[in-house]
Amino acid sequence: MQNRYEFILGLVKEAGWKLKEYTGQKVETDTKNNNPLDLVTKVDVEISEFLTSRVREGFPGEVVYSEEAADVDISSGSYWSIDPIDGTTNFSRGIPHYSVVIAYVEKGVPAVGALYNPVTDELYSFEKGKGAYLNGKQIHVSNVTALDESYMLLRAGRNKDLWDWGTTSYKFMLEHGVKCANLGSSGLDMCYVAAGRVEANIYGTLTTIDIAAALGLVWEAGGMIVGKGGQEVSEISKEKQQIIGVNNRTTLQALEPIFR
């Protein structure tokens, strides 16, 4: 059997190069489930089919889950997780902050994965127990512990029920942090925690299965992933939930006022 890590590194870059061919082109968008806030393009579908086909060729019989074809039985806990374009809105508008995401999840935990931004040529990758890497150089979360020195990312989500929480949380971060922003790509945003570029990435609602590779990176870089009430997340799930990627427990404790 092929080495999963080497296979993913090659495949994620190949898919990224396909994405880059659309640079400067107008890409028409459609919606998922008639939700105007949940966009998809023909390119998402094209890249999803390409990745799924290649994985099935390389690893026959293994389960492949894709955000664009999510009706797959993953009850075994071991499967491939693919997001062809993490940051579709950015991609469709020519904003260079999006990536291809691939991971292999084993018994509910990311074992190996990668994210590739073809515009910046940044390749994030990890193997469980062997560290997290950016373009082959090992990365670690930042050692900042003071909230007033922290750069944080926040996205309340599409659910109207979260908007008041999002407003309150944003005010809290403006008051206590150095900077609060949202970059529009949940996977890459989480990678920025792993690389020490930001101290926290907070989502009001997020499905971890779509960015399994990014969660694996945070763990391998020494960070934490927590969910509702600040409870540590240990397995990948299809459940939509509050997710916080953070550099260390001290920062996490300082963020307690925003826990849902």
In this prediction, residue 67 carries a pLDDT of: 75
In this prediction, residue 36 carries a pLDDT of: 42
Domains of the chain with bracketed CATH: 4-139 (3.30.540.10), 147-258 (3.40.190.80)
| Alpha helices for the chain (secondary structure H) | 4-20, 42-58, 88-92, 163-176, 186-194, 212-220, 249-254
In this prediction, residue 24 carries a pLDDT of: 67
Low-confidence residues of the chain: pLDDT under 50: 33-38
Strands 200-207 and 240-246: antiparallel
Distance, in Å, from the CA atom of 235 to the CA atom of 216, rounded to the nearest integer, reads: 10
In this prediction, residue 37 carries a pLDDT of: 45
Distance, in Å, from the CA atom of 44 to the CA atom of 29, rounded to the nearest integer, reads: 10
Q: Which tens digits make up the pLDDT trace of 24-48?
A: 666 665 555 444 444 567 888 899 9
Q: Which tens digits make up the pLDDT trace of 125-146?
A: 999 999 999 999 999 999 999 9
Distance, in Å, from the CA atom of 25 to the CA atom of 18, rounded to the nearest integer, reads: 13
In this prediction, residue 34 carries a pLDDT of: 47
